[in-house]
Every structure is written in C-alpha cells, then in structure tokens.
Amino acid sequence: MATIFRISTVALAATLFANASTAAENPALAPSEPWRVDYGEEQCVLLRTFGTGADAVTLRLARGSGLQSFDMLVAGINVPRLGANVRVTMTLEPQATEAEFNGYSMRLPNRPESFIRWFDGDPNILAGVAEDQLVRLRADDKFDVAMRWTGGKAALAALQSCHDDLLKGWGVAIDEIRALKVQPEPVGSPGRWVTNDDYPSREMQREIEGTVAFQIKVGTDGSIEDCRILRSSGSAALDEQSCRLVRQRARFKPGRDANDQPTPSYYINRVRWQIPR
C-alpha cells in the first residue's frame, strides 16, 4: 500500500555547492514529485525523485528489521558506477551534520540508470532533518549531489510510524523498547557476527538465499539470553544458523532504565544470506 504526502512548497533559491573533484558549482535538485511511503511486508520504504531529465535522481530510504539502522539508495542516469566498495558521505546543511557509510554501486538491469546503495546506516543523522532540509550525498569524490528535502521531517515521521507498525505486527514490544533511557549497544561490529564463511554448505550448493530478521534479549551483564526469529528467510537452516551464531558471537553494553540502571533489553537486526558471486 502506498501513501502519498503532498507537501506545499514555495519557490526556493538554488543553493550552490563546490564539487570536490571539479570545483564546479551545482544547484541543489528540487523535488519533482511528492514523498511516497510504501508499506511492505518486510520493510517500509520512503521514495522521492529530485530534478528532471538526465539530472534526475530517485531516492529510496528503507526501514526494516533494525531499530538502529536504515538503508538508502540513490539512482539516476548520471549516477556513476563505482564498484563493490564505495564510501558515502551524507551531510545536512546548514547544520553541517555528517555521517559516513560503506556502500556499493551497480547498474540497474536493462535500464540506463546506475545506483549507489548502503545498508545498516546509523539513523541518528535522520533525527536532525528539518522540514525544509538540504541534503548532500558524496561518493568517492566521483559523485556529488544536493537535494532539497522539502517536507522531509514529516515524511520521516510517516516512515517511522510505518516502521513501528511493522515491528508491532511481528510481535515486538516497541513501546517497551523505546521507554529505555539507553538502548543496548553492540560491542564491536554486528557485521562480523555472521560472515560468508558461515554459509551452510547445503544451502550454498542449492543457492538458497534469504534475509532473517531476529530479536535478541540482552541480559543486565550484556550477555545474550535469547534469540527469536521475527521474520524467516524461508529456510529453517539459515534461520537456525543466524541465531546460533548471534548467541555465540554477539556481546553488548546493556540497556539502562530511567534510573540509569542496567536492565534486560532487546536488540533487533537482520542477517542477509547472499551467496558470494
């Protein structure tokens, strides 16, 4: 189901940025369509296109299983194909708030557009988005685009509402989680809990892939007390392997209650099982 948010705008003066590689000044792209929120079974997606013609870029921002993460993709004819490892910088102006992400780029099948995408971004930067926000994305000093996110704060609030409803539908006590003063924090990188070397051999041979959404119960000492599958990959072996490895490898700084005391808490994330090619 798609919800359209039509947000009234006024004429805005173009804001210029210096391109890191060419020092050329490029105007910020104005939106060419309203924000749209798509309600899916596995994630909520916020979409909007900025600019027109060959300069147009489409932004796709998704919230799925992770409370502490979001995914973003930007696609367009002039988006370069940069390869499997891309360093992306997202900046809010004029606040000068900045975050960096590891991503990748590819060309869309049977289409002239390429895209740059990154997973598991820290959503804290999104909390600073204003109702009329200038957002700049740069990738490897070879891509630089600025977009005018008119109505951005309201659109992100709609995405958050969708995401909360999605998690509640999976049985997540979202209100209880948000009541904590401090959320549990992984020690080390969650990306190292499960690696390609952990792929079950039978599933790899049969080319079975999928995404597992899981919820961890974290004890007051940061240990893992339980792992529950929220959304199955469709493969029992991949689901079981995900929780088994998370129990073995994940450690946390515990969550804290309103009195700043360690308390049992919950952490939500996912494992994407994808055969290396």
pLDDT of 158-177, one tens digit each? 999 999 999 999 888 888 88
Angle value at C-alpha 192, between 190 and 193, nearest 5 degrees? 70
Q: Is 250 strand, coil or helix?
A: coil
Q: How confident is the model at residue 146 (pLDDT cuts 50, 70, 90)?
A: very high
Q: What is the mean pLDDT of residues 175-199?
A: 89
pLDDT of residue 151: 95
* Lookup: tokens for 199: 């792929």
Look at phi and psi of residue 87 and say left if phi exceeds 0, alpha if psi is from -120 to 50, else beta.
beta
Instruction: Identify the bridge partners of residue 260 per DSSP, sorted by sequence position.
Output: none
Question: Phi/psi of residue 255, each to 5°?
Answer: -70, 160
pLDDT tens-digit map of 91-133: 999 998 999 998 999 887 888 889 999 887 778 899 899 999 9
pTM of the model as a whole: 0.76
Kindly tell me if the per-residue pLDDT of 149 is higher than 80.
yes
Identify the band that residue 26 occupies on the pLDDT scale cut at 50, 70 and 90.
low
Sorting pLDDT into bands at 50, 70 and 90, what band is 248?
very high
What percent of the chain shows pLDDT beyond 90? 62
DSSP secondary structure letters along 26-50: EEPBPBSS-EEEEE-SS-EEEEEEE
**CA pair distance 107, 84, nearest whole angstrom:** 11
